[in-house]
Structures are given as C-alpha cells and as structure tokens.
Amino acid sequence: MSNKLVFTDRILDNVHGFIYYTAAEKKIIESSLFKRLQSIKQLSIVNWVFPGSEHTRYIHSLGVMYIADKIATQLKLPDKDRKIIRMAGLLHDIGHYPLSHVCEYPYKTSLDFFYDDNFIKERNEAVMRNINSLLDNKPSEYMKKSDGFHHERIGASIVLNNKEIKKVIVDECGKNAPDIIADMITGNIERDNTDPLFVQILHSELDADGIDYLMRDAMFSGTSFGSFELDQLIGCMDIGEKNGKRILCIKPKGIAAADQYLINKFFSYSQVVYNKHISITEFMAQQIVDWMQKNNAFFPTNETLYKWVASKSTEEKYVRFTDNFFWASLQNILTDPLKDTEPKIIKCFCERLLGHMELEYKVNSEVKIISSDLNEIQEFIKESQTFKNLNNSNSEISILSLHRMSKQIPLKEYEKQVINKDDKTKTFPDDASLDEDIIEQLHSRRLMECICIKEEDGSINLLCDDRRSLMHTLYGMTLAILRTYKINI
C-alpha cells in the first residue's frame, strides 16, 4: 500500500469540471452498490416542478469527494489522510433510500398517523401541536452522530460489513480506515482513533456535502442560490484547536463567503425545497412509504433493510432498492389482490402520484413568515384563518415547514439553554453532573458542528458571535410556512 495519491482516470461533471479518481476509487465507482446511486435522484420529485433537477446521488457523491479533497488540500493534509477523506466523500451516500430523504423520513421518524377515516383529523392535530410547541424548537445539542435507520447508519454498515467495499478501503487506506470512514459518514467524534477534523470535513455546518449539494441543486434546478465564493471560502479554511481536538475553521477574510453560503442555503429551502407543489407531493410519498414499511407491504421493514445490506446473498435486493422500486410499489398497491383492505388515503395518494398529480392547493391558505422571534412566528400563524380552520376540516390537509438559518447560537444563549444546570442536556445522561470537563466537551462539540473563525492569535469563536458577520444578527432567523390542500376520498 502506497501513501501517495495516484489518479488514473477522470469523469466530466457539470458543476466541477473534470473530477479525477484513483484505481481504488474506480473499483468503488464501478461496484453495483455504488452504481445503484445512479437510480436515485438527488431531489426526489423536485423535477416535476424544476424539470432540470434530474441529477443523482451518484454524481453528487463524486462531487463531495472532489470538494472534500479540495478542503483537505487547503488544510495541507498528507496524501494518506486525503485518501481516507476522499473515500469517505465518495461513500457518504451509499446508504441512501429511494427518492433520497423522502423515503428515509418514515424510517427514522415514526409518523404515528392512523390510516383510516381519522387520518386528516390526526394530521391536522399534529400540525397544531407542532405550532403550539414552537417555542421548544431551539438548538440544544451539537455534533450528534446519526443513529437508528438514518441513511448514514445504513451507509456505515455497508462500509463496515460489505466484504468487497471493505477490502478496497483497507487495501488503499489501511486496516483502521473502514472505522474512520464510518465515523465520518455518521458524524461520530467519540472514538479516539478518529480525528474529529476528518468528521467535520464531511459532517458539519460547513462541509463538503452541503457545499456540493447547494451548488449542484441550484445549477440543475435553474436557480441562482448555489452562487457563492467557493474558492474564497475554501481558500480561507484553516485548522484550529480546542481542548486538544482539531477544529475546522475559516480565517476572518472568509467571513463574507461563509455568510453568503448560509444565506443562499436558507433561500434554497424557501424557494425550492418548500415549494408548495413539492411539499405536497413529497408528503404523499412519505405517507405511502410509512404505511408500507410498517405493514411490511412491498417496502422492507427496518430490520429487513439492515439484513439486505449485511449479507452478500441479499445484496441484489438492496441494489434494486431505488426510485424505480418506489414507483413499482405504488403500482403494486393498486393492483394487489387485497387492495380492498388497504386504506383509502394510501390508495388516493398512489393514484395521484402515478398520475403525476398533486392535491389541490387551497388558494390563499399560505401563511409564511421569516423572523428570529419564535413568539412572533407562533402568534402570526395562530392568528391566521388557516390555523383557525385546522380543527374544523375533514377535507383539507395541512403542512407545516420550518427551517432555521443556522445551527449556531451565541455563547451566552447556548450556555443558558444547554449548559445551565437547571436544564437537562440530551447530550449526556440525565444523572451527569455538568462539571467543567463536561462543559468543555459541550463547547468542543458546538465548535465542531458550527462555523468557526480562527484569529491570528489562534483563538476561536463562532461566526454568530462575530460582529463582522451578518450571522451576528441573522443566526436565529427561522422560516415558517403553513399551507392547506384539498382532498376528497
């Protein structure tokens, strides 16, 4: 095994130009597990509204490898480290579900709706509960690793258990590399053998994954939100240190580029991800998948999915678990011999999606607000007629979308919310005493997850604590959109 990076081939990418890769990376790219990503769209059903959004997790993964290596090169990391970082970037989405996050959501979050005549009532009551508890929607923990059935956990399982993939990694990067790459994919900073700097390059508020998907989604959707000073942003990256751990930072001259990146990311949610047509089509798909996997109907259960990726004998089933699998499952629901026993709401959603139709948006029902004051957001929504009608309708479904500008909060607010001994932190056990060591660990986690500024004297502070940054005033901005759709079943 040589520590030197040797590129043997290249692929032309719309976003980054030529992306070069090594012989080992080529083996991964040509494996059936990786090629599966060619059949999973990056933006699920967004192409129904933005027709150019046909890009896949396959090309996104190559882009993340490219950006991750660009960051590693800027940080002057040696080739042996770059090999691991590049491989992690390439493999970070290998565990993705069909339709990307749409089909994943029901696996990692139980939707808890009854698929019967009470579905609409249950749905609207859940939205009302979310609005009434909006003031609890505050950042409380940082750098938490992915668990359960998150696509990153599925990906880590493939890296650690698939013999073909694992052998390529070990031969190219060393025997400890699979564990390190699994940590990078899931955001695990708890193992001593994994440098948290590696994890941050792939799993933080300013990471290769986020940079590539913002640029790529904007280019293919035809919007301008992916435009930011990429070379300036990466060119200002540096390594800081806190409590003996390396922290990914930017220098002060990169503040404007970091602001631009976060603002454009915020607008991409406002204009693309939460588009009124996309919101309802993705909602219908989520409900169908939730019903299928809970009833072991066409889609695999949680446990079955893990079995598929853990065994060579069932690998072929996982390779076929793509967007096409989703659409075939919808058709199976409608032609199933037991279709008369299936919930009417599920059959309605299947018919709509297969017919490339959505539920009818109720004109003028949209309630949209952007504010840093959660009280203001809550009051504004609750005063609307749309909210007041939620409890009285049996023919309209409501959808609430929420997105915060940044995960960052200023130091004083963070300490008040998380470190104050009167509050229980979810990061540590309930009986953990918040002594100075634990407080320092919490501060380190916070720095690893968020965007940090490294000053010339080596000191580190958060972007939102820096008066030179727009995030000093914009960090708490939250987008909230409530909409209603008509349904007849």
Whether 430 has a pLDDT exceeding 50, the answer reads no
Name the pTM for this structure. 0.92
Q: Which of 68-77, 97-106, 125-134, 386-395 has the lowest mean pLDDT?
A: 386-395
Partnered with residue 399 across adjacent β-strands are 483
Better-predicted residue by pLDDT, 341 or 477: 477
The reported pLDDT for the residue numbered 403 is 93
Q: Which residues of 132-147 are buried (b: 16+ CB within 10 A; e: fewer)?
A: eebeeeebbebbebbe
Amino acid in the structure at residue 451: I
The reported pLDDT for the residue numbered 301 is 84
Other Cβ atoms within 10 Å of 368 Cβ, number: 15
Question: What is the sign of the dihedral through the CA atoms of 460, 464, 465 and 470?
Answer: positive
Contact assessment for residue 70 and residue 202, using Cβ atoms and an 8 Å cutoff: no
- Taking the C-alpha atoms of residue 106 and residue 400, their distance in angstroms, rounded to an integer, is 16
Other Cβ atoms within 10 Å of 193 Cβ, number: 8
The reported pLDDT for the residue numbered 418 is 67
Q: Which of 274-278, 430-434, 454-458 has the lowest mean pLDDT?
A: 430-434
- Taking the C-alpha atoms of residue 218 and residue 304, their distance in angstroms, rounded to an integer, is 35
pLDDT digits (tens, 9 = 90+) for 400-421: 999 999 988 888 888 777 665 4
Q: What is the CATH number of domain 7-102+150-274?
A: 1.10.3210.10
Residue 359 corresponds to which tokens in the numbers above? 């539920």
pLDDT digits (tens, 9 = 90+) for 255-284: 999 999 999 999 998 888 899 999 999 999
Whether 141 has a pLDDT exceeding 80, the answer reads no
pLDDT digits (tens, 9 = 90+) for 148-192: 788 999 999 999 999 999 999 999 999 999 999 999 999 999 888
Contact assessment for residue 204 and residue 450, using Cβ atoms and an 8 Å cutoff: yes
The reported pLDDT for the residue numbered 433 is 52
Read off the pLDDT band of 429 (50, 70, 90): very low
Domain coordinates in residue numbering, the chain: 7-102+150-274
**Average of per-residue pLDDT values in the chain:** 89
Q: What percent of the chain has a predicted confidence (pLDDT) above 70? A: 93
DSSP assignment of 228-241, as one string?
Answer: S-HHHHHHTEEEEE
